[in-house]
Copies of this chain bind each other. A is one copy, B any other.
Amino acid sequence: MSLPHAILTALLEKPSSGLELTRRFDRSIGYFWSATHQQIYRELGKLEKAGLIRALDRDVPTRGQKKEYEVLPSGREELERWVGVREDPRDPRDPLLLRLRATGVVGVGGDMVDELRRHRALHQERLAEYREFERRDAARGNGTERDRVHRLVLQGGIDLELFWVTWLDRALADLEDTG
């Protein structure tokens, strides 16, 4: 039940159409919680029907027409309720760890070492990207609570990528040693 709330957050930050939301997801919230445009349109429909958001420019019910949404008071209340909810952390659900574990029974091919190297490179790239965001954020203001929270979340992303790079280095050193 996180996607609708991610959308409410994004719409509160700035009212948008479905496609705009999709694009914004691709370069911010989506780093932590990705969503396809179909998911987003479906959720927008549900949120509108539930009276949590509404379309500006009413009377544009047709396809192909841009439709901007804004959050209604009840939507904001729902978001406030949601941030107060207690929810335990979930499993990481990362297929790479599973695949590595599977090599315990079918053997570590050179393929897996290549794959770990490839992942290392991807995480390194993502890390560089985050650091670029960080650099830009530092230049801009940092007074508001919103800025501070964004910086914390970004820091989380950075630390997470650092975890991956470090662990993958360890794993590669181990596997290349005797594998």
Interface residues of A (CB under 8 A from B): 2, 5-6, 8-9, 12-13, 29-34, 76, 79-80, 82-109, 111-112, 115, 118-119, 122-123, 145-146, 148-150, 152-153, 155-156, 159-160, 162-164, 166-167, 170-171, 174-175, 178-179
Docked-complex contact A83 and B111, CB < 8 angstroms: yes
CB distance from A20 to the nearest CB of B (A): 17
Q: Are B105 and A13 in contact (CB-based, < 8 A)?
A: yes
A148 vs B31: C-alpha distance when bound (angstroms): 32
Please determine whether B32 and A104 come into contact, CB atoms closer than 8 angstroms.
Answer: no
CA distance A2 to B96 in the complex (A): 10
CB-CB nearest 10 A-B residue pairs:
A104-B149, A104-B146, A12-B105, A163-B163, A9-B102, A84-B111, A34-B91, A2-B95, A32-B97, A80-B106
Residues of chain B contacted by A32 (CB below 8 angstroms): 91-94, 97-98, 101
CB pair B153 A86 closer than 8 Å: no
Whether A29 contacts B98 by the Cβ 8 Å rule is yes
Q: Chain B: which residue is nearest A3 at the CB level?
A: B98
Distance from A167 Cβ to chain B, minimum over Cβ atoms (Å)? 5
Select which of B87, B98, B112, B171 is within 8 A of A96 by beta carbon. Answer: B87
Question: Bound complex: CA of A107 vs CA of B119, how far in Å?
Answer: 36
A100 to B111 Cα, complex, angstroms: 38
Partner of A30, one of B91, B145, B162, B175: B91
Known: A89-B119, A164-B89. A83 touches B97 (CB 8 A): no
